[in-house]
Structure 1
Amino acid sequence: MAVIVDEAAGTISFTDCTITFPYGFSVSSGVGTIIITPAGGVASFPLAIQGASGLPPLIRFVAHELPPGDPLPDPNPVRTVINPGGPGEAAEYQYDLYYHQGRQGDAASFKFLDADDLANGEALAEGDVTKDGYVLSYAYPGTGEPGVVFVPQKRGDIRGPSKIDPTPWSNTGIRLLTSVTLEVKPFDRKVLPTGSLVVTGSADTRVDLIAYLGNPDDGGIEIGRAFGQAGAAPPPLVLSGGPPATTPGGNAGYGIVAAGAAATVYFRAEQKASSSNNWATAGAPDGARCGVVTVAV
């Protein structure tokens, strides 16, 4: 048998032999068997078997933001071969993508208060919105006209008096110690008073520290009290906020300063025993303290 290779024609010729395809040939698998039988012996090509798939390539993308007007590379993205790979080794590539960042826009002159769909913007623009602390809010169905509106930002506050003077040794039954004025706010507030007081009395005097929302001589209501003890040197009074008497949970609407209204809290020392003897109260800072905490409701 002779094997003739013609490189120019790209052919291989076999002479003095028989070529047999014993199992046929599968186009789908690309596998077949060829047996070449020369005179006086037997020879064959090994089975042509599909090899294992190679490893997938490793591809990395890197983005680069360039200033407006800077030239971009061509081609874009730029491909770099990190590792060409080989038998049992994955190829590795990097693609660098270049793009322009946006240009600086023109300064806007729009004002929120000039918006056509802002319900109370025009009215607020005529007043001092920043002083009252208005914020944007969405009025959902059931709370008013749906849409974006300005609403006052509800914030708590703490206020105290400028001074608390001592009161003299006498038998005056009711004494105004100090008062705290609350400025107008555009939302309802609940008032919680705090305070403490040192009292010097007689054997049969008993003095309470009481806080009133509004002038107690003109309809003001009690919003806090410290109950005193009888004697010449009773323990310091510590005031607790709250209404005089309510049903459980019934004080939710008690001691409320309505939106748009100012208020004054009065702190008084009142002698409650059936005595006409003398007593006195200390002043700040050594023997008296008063304050008011407001909570938005």
Structure 2
Amino acid sequence: MHGPNIFGIEPPSFYFFNLLLNFNVVWSLVICYPLVLLVCIIQSNFQRKMRKTTMDSYFWKMLPAYIWMLVFFIQPHKEERFLFPIYPLLTLCAVLCIENIKRIWNCIFNGERDIFQKILLNGTIVIFLLLSLSRIFALYIHYQAPMKISMVLGEAVSEKNVCIAKEWHRIPGNFFMPKNHHLRFVRSSFNGILPAYFDETKKGTALVHNYFNDMNLPSDYMLFNLTECDFLIDSDFGEKYRIHDIEQNYSKDKSTWEIIKSMPFLDSKVSSSFFRAFYVPLISTKYTKFGNFNLLKRKK
């Protein structure tokens, strides 16, 4: 089996909720814009207060964003990065939506009751800022551990292997590792192809390795021997250590590893969906639970 679908498929609602998280009120305006523009066109035809060229301009400005969304919303395989090229266009559509709502209001009330326009504009800005700040704080408080945990490692004289297992997808990569520290993958329940190790040779970025494949098949070449790991990055959400488990809770293996750095990390399975996405002071802590994200060092 080939094609992008082997990397996972999602329903159309994936992008809807993703944009709602990233753009909140702006995304709401983008959704409303086609209807608002239609009302504006109908109203202008009745009252003849807007030139056709102006409406055409609005239409052509909104069209690229909606064509892009149509194309990617119907694709089974979805990723957040597929939409980032139209982020500026989404912002433009939101602004045009507000502008056309103001036009509709002016046509209905003949330019009176200007307070509505101020409430609409200022209210949109305030709500957007509050929700965006809440989202930023949630991401920082709940998920900062993977970005910071490797900073504890100092530069080493000899080569050191920093291993990851089930949390391989959360670690930024070799670029965040200190000198002489190398990121390695150990076996976990993940059964797809892992990211290639960074090749430090001159033409490393152009190499096509023989273990690459387009079927998302795992390769043992990418797996490192756990016994050769000097450090291990792993999460601990209270599971027991069982030596025969594929995904062991290495933090509980006190005979082999010692914890040299531990940071809180959100346990999404037992936390509120809303409060893990948005941070509300004094309230979020009641509805979110944390585990530990640990940097382990092999005992000598």
Instruction: Give your verdict on TM over 0.5.
Output: no
User: Normalised by the shorter chain, which TM-score bucket?
Assistant: under 0.3
- Larger proportion of strand: 1
Q: TM-score, normalised by structure 1?
A: 0.17
- Which of the two has higher C-alpha Rg? 1
> Could you say which structure has the higher helix fraction?
2
